[in-house]
């Protein structure tokens, strides 16, 4: 399997409703997707990063 197919698509432009810089960057990187109002879907890569950081912090 190609690495380009492994994770979600990246975007060149940030969505118009992106209000914070962190949200804008995560959406453009394909780590986060907005499902509804205040509801987000995380990519598998973001889950791994979050889980690893929680284990380190204790």
Predicted confidence (pLDDT) per residue in 16-48, tens digit: 888 899 989 988 988 888 898 889 999 888 888
CA dihedral 33, 34, 39, 43 (to 10 degrees): 0
Q: How much is the pLDDT for 21?
A: 93
| Residue extents of the structural domains in the chain | 10-56
Q: Is it the case that residue 50 has pLDDT exceeding 90?
A: no
How many C-beta neighbours within 10 Å does residue 38 have? 6
| pTM, full prediction | 0.67
**Model pLDDT, residue 33:** 86
């Amino acid at each position: 399997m190609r690495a380009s197919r492994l994770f979600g698509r990246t975007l060149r432009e940030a969505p118009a409703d992106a209000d914070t810089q962190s949200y804008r960057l995560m959406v453009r990187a394909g780590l986060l997707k907005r499902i509804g109002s205040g509801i987000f879907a995380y990519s598998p890569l973001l889950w791994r990063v979050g889980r690893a950081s929680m284990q380190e912090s204790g």
